[in-house]
Structure 1
Amino acid sequence: MPSSSRIVLTDSQDRIIAVLGGIPPGSVGEDWASTSDEAKKAVEEFRGNSTFTQAQQHGRRGDFACRTVGFGYGNGRAQPLNFRVDGESNRKAVETLLKNPAIRRIAGFHKSVFNSYAHKMYQEYKQTQEELIQQHPNLRPNFPGTPFAALSVNAGPQSYSPPHRDADNAVHGWCLDTALGNFDPDKGGHLVLGDLGLAIRFPPGATIAFPSALITHSSLPIQKGETRYALIQFSSGGLFRWRANGFQSDKSFASKAEPSQLAEREVLQRHRWKLSLQKFTRWGDLLQGDWKGQKRTQAGLDDVSELSDADAGIKKLPVKRSRHR
């Protein structure tokens, strides 16, 4: 089974850009193995009780059954809406999966990793989620208290993907990805972060967090007769724009805004990259116990980022690896 220690990837400015989360601390041996196995069975039951369209079985992320549940904004939606699930049997299969204790335990671990290693980003997600649901009571979160709006269930039977970026995800945001199934992680199923030049062993039951809209990623095929699934939580970037606009579209905001508001918005848009970089936790702060990054903010150090950092792009930044327990 994967180790309970973490491996943290940082860029040249000490920002944590990915976490190889392993399994929850203290959940070793039979404990987490049982959770992983129960979650695998839940996904297999979900797949067996569902029907999938051709597009849901052969998408740009690979040839495997996939369904995204929760809510999002963009791709033609006029406002934030729940992802559509057609058919009573499909809706029942989704409901059963989301109520499964093992699935919920994994979702809780996602929340813990995200909060621990990207606290400012977590707070942004949490507040956005809460305000969206308050403004739009019809929106249905997948799990109680989750900061993520959506869950993609890669139901296989062999879930692996060609190189891609997730354009629907928030640009600076993280996705949390847990692998499940019966496969040999030494022979396949690795997560490849192409921009960073890394192929990461990704065994069943392990969790990895990274910004999937920024980093080109893929996964390696598994062996014949094996199975691989994945649970991936994320939030659409459009949801953050909707909230920033006062819960309306860009077009609606522009049509109603005063000239001063439009000028202020233009300034904010020019500096959005900088504000986004400030949401990444610094490894040095975490080691000093300031995992929330409060001391850096209070000291005014959030503003030290230079435009050259953004111009360089993550794929050109040296990556450092650190182990954390």
Structure 2
Amino acid sequence: PIHTADGTIIALLAAHPNDEHWEVDVMAEAMRAMEQAREKYDFMDREASHRRGNYPAVWSGISHGNGRQVSTPPSPMSLPSPSPLHIFDRIHCSGTFGTFVPRLHAYYSDILKVLAAWDPTLRLNFTNSVFAACTFNLGPDVTTLRHLDLKNLAWGWCAVTVLGTFDPRLGGHLVLWDMRLVIEFPLPSAVFAHSNTTIQAGKKRLSFTQYTAFGLFRWKEYGCMTTAQYTKKMGVLCVEQMNTSQWQAGMSMYSKLNEFI
């Protein structure tokens, strides 16, 4: 865990399970699925180059906000046949999240339960993840620019999984600018500016991130209503009071090291 001076856990670096076949059976297969999607998918301009970098990136899952209603767009990962998405079910970011930050994990899980009850036709990316959406960064040499993920929950976490043939000792490091850390990786991506360094020539680096948009949490807290609908019903003052208390409530969901001793 990465933690603050008072022991609050703010990020985790999760190793792979104790499985000698993990690299071949899971990581290599996930990379192959993403490369197949890159070859077959017809990217829009905004997907091929964007504020996070000059590499193709497409999102899949459930989101809400910025004029978008709760929705699930078609995933580029559904293009190859048979579907490779079951490989990503084995990647254990959500489980690690639940082990070390159980209160925040439960908050994410509750969103999915509410969504399933509200609209059973909504499709989740993975069967065992509490994250509502993900972005596939399809490479072949993903180097992200310094950025904040401002559409994510401010105190929420995202899970970053890196795939590729590059040597992590020589490049592709995760840079957490606010903490002045360079790391050879889940984190509060809406709070900490982050990027990654370039990799060796001729090598490959792909990644995918899992997250839940802030708009979904707000929609749930507003009783499955948009901000405009809720404000009209409850009044501006009520909305402002609710928003003021959110940060403190959110930080109480973090874990401290002494909880595991």
* Same fold by TM-score greater than 0.5: yes
The normalised TM-score by structure 2 is: 0.94
1:192 counterpart (175, 188, 213): 175
Structure 1 segments, 4+ long, off by >6 Å, are: none
Shift of 1:187: 1.3
The residue type equivalent to 1:271 in the other structure is S
Shift of 1:69: 0.3
The answer to whether the 8 A contact 2:77-2:84 is kept is no
Shift of 1:266: 3.4
CA RMSD of aligned residues (A): 1.9
The normalised TM-score by structure 1 is: 0.76
1:23 counterpart (16, 21, 30): 16
Question: For the residues of structure 2 that align with 1:69 and 1:249, how far apart are their CA atoms?
Answer: 21
The answer to whether the 8 A contact 2:89-2:127 is kept is no
Question: For the residues of structure 1 that align with 2:81 and 2:210, how far apart are their CA atoms?
Answer: 15
Residue 178 (1) aligns with residue 161 (2): yes
Shift of 1:95: 7.9
What is aligned with 1:212? Answer: 189
What is aligned with 2:249? Answer: 275
The residue type equivalent to 2:54 in the other structure is D
Q: Which runs of 5+ in 1 are unaligned?
A: 1-7, 202-207, 288-325
Residue 66 (1) aligns with residue 57 (2): yes
Shift of 1:252: 0.4
1:227 counterpart (204, 226, 231): 204
Q: Which runs of 5+ in 2 are unaligned?
A: none
What is aligned with 1:82? Answer: 72
Shift of 1:254: 1.2
Distance 1:95 1:148, change over 3 A: farther
Shift of 1:33: 4.3
Which secondary structure state, in structure 2, belongs to the residue aligned with residue 180 of structure 1? strand
Question: For the residues of structure 2 that align with 1:233 and 1:93, how far apart are their CA atoms?
Answer: 21
2:88 counterpart (103, 124, 130): 103
Which secondary structure state, in structure 1, belongs to the residue aligned with residue 90 of structure 2? helix
What is aligned with 1:48? Answer: 39
Shift of 1:92: 2.6
Distance 1:159 1:186, change over 3 A: same
2:152 counterpart (139, 160, 169): 169
In our comparison, the structure showing a higher alpha carbon Rg is 1
The residue type equivalent to 1:105 in the other structure is R
The residue type equivalent to 1:279 in the other structure is M
Distance 1:31 1:51, change over 3 A: same
CA displacement, residues 7-30 of structure 1 (integer Å, 9 cap, x when unaligned): x11112311000011212x22x44
Shift of 1:163: 0.5
